[in-house]
């Protein structure tokens, strides 16, 4: 009976670990440049780095400049870098002084789960 209980405990633990495994595969933002709430000179490049490899077709970001109750889109060309974990964006022109928000979507290659988030920053 002792061996059966031990076996059952190990089996339950293995199933619990296997079930929770994909949850750890979600792409999570680990670094942003500009950083969240940073006040910076107009950036020539915006980068977001994640902890997991991304699906390029479903991983991108947009930039907006809040204007009262609306937001003005800022033209930015993005791509996933060769490292597979970084999305780089090049603004089409110099960003004016003001507040901006990077709205990102990232899909992890390992589990296909889509994550989203925002990174606000200001240009001085």
Q: Kindly write down the DSSP assignment for every residue of 50-98, as one continuous string.
A: ESS-B-GGG-EEEEEEEETTEEEEE-EEEEE-TTSSEEEEEESSPPPSE
Domains for the chain: give ranges and CATH numbers. Answer: 25-123 (2.60.40.1220)
Question: pLDDT at position 24, please?
Answer: 54
Q: What is the H or E stretch that residue 40 is in?
A: strand 38-40
Least confident among 1-5, 68-72, 74-78, 98-102: 1-5
Alpha-carbon gap, residue 1 to 67, rounded angstroms: 69
Two structure tokens written together for 67: 């204007």
Tell me the average pLDDT across 14-37. Answer: 72
8 A C-beta contact, residue 59 and residue 27: yes
Alpha-carbon gap, residue 58 to 108, rounded angstroms: 9
Which of 85, 11, 2, 10 has its CA nearest to residue 48? 85
Q: Report in angstroms the alpha-carbon separations of 22 from 12, 17, 18, 25, 31.
A: 17, 10, 8, 5, 22
Two structure tokens written together for 20: 């929770």
Tell me the average pLDDT across 16-28. Answer: 58
Which of 117, 113, 106 has its CA nearest to residue 21? 113
Question: pLDDT at position 26, please?
Answer: 86
Query: The whole model's pTM is what?
Result: 0.79
Predicted confidence (pLDDT) at residue 15 exceeds the cutoff of 50: no
pLDDT, tens digit, 9 for 90 and up, residues 38-77: 999 999 999 999 999 999 999 999 999 998 889 999 999 9
């Amino acid at each position: 009976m002792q061996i059966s209980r031990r076996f059952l405990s190990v089996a339950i633990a293995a199933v619990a670990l296997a079930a929770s495994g994909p949850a750890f595969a979600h792409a999570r933002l680990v670094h942003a440049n500009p950083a969240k709430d940073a006040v910076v000179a107009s950036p020539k490049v915006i980068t977001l780095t994640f902890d997991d490899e991304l699906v390029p077709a479903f991983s991108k970001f947009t930039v907006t400049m809040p204007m009262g109750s609306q937001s003005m889109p800022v033209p930015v060309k993005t791509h996933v870098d060769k490292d597979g974990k970084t999305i780089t964006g090049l603004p089409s022109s110099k960003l004016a002084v003001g507040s901006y928000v990077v709205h990102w979507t990232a899909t992890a290659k390992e589990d296909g789960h889509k994550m989203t988030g925002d990174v606000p920053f200001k240009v001085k």
